[in-house]
A = this chain, B = another copy of it.
């Protein structure tokens, strides 16, 4: 009898709880992010959660911290600027869509209360010394002779990612592929070549 453990302890239990909290947050949003729902999903009881995270903010912060960088966006290197940026935007779309939606839903109250905003949070969370992906792509394209070597405003460089993020925020869904190609082919590449 009892070949399998019936009770988890320590970090095993804690991991299971944070996994459950993450799922609840994704599925139900902040409104459904209750001790009750999370305990039920984790197969435990509320007192277990209260012992570890007395405030809901503690639990939310622990959950976000754990999953924030779980899916880094990959930067492709195809030998073509267009394929690079489209691939990059696709990766960002699939990897970041959930998290961005989450942030927009969950952290607005925090922003309002603290007086900070989205931009500042991004700056805080940005990995140190991480080269800007779009900048990297442009540098490569210039080296290949695909583009003239001329200075470009930050606003121009970051344009495709800003437009992707705008679309994500507006629809709160994964962005269709034709939006991505539209951003690149109708806006960014013509602008770079102007």
Q: Does A29 contact B (CB under 8 A)?
A: yes
Cα distance A117–B171 in the bound complex, in angstroms = 5
Question: Which residues from B are CB-within-8-Å of A169?
Answer: 104, 118, 166, 169
Q: How far is the CB of A174 from chain B (nearest CB, A)?
A: 12
Would you give the 0/1 interface string for A166-194, flagging 1 where the beta carbon is closer than 8 Å to chain B?
A: 10011111000000001100110011011
Interface residues of A (CB under 8 A from B): 29-31, 104-106, 108-109, 111-113, 117-119, 153, 155-156, 159, 162-163, 165-166, 169-173, 182-183, 186-187, 190-191, 193-194
Please name 22 pairs of A and B residues whose Cβ atoms are closer than 8 Å in the assembled complex, sorted by A: A29-B108, A29-B112, A29-B113, A30-B109, A31-B109, A104-B169, A105-B111, A105-B112, A108-B108, A111-B172, A112-B172, A117-B171, A118-B170, A118-B171, A155-B186, A155-B187, A156-B186, A159-B187, A162-B166, A165-B166, A166-B169, A191-B191
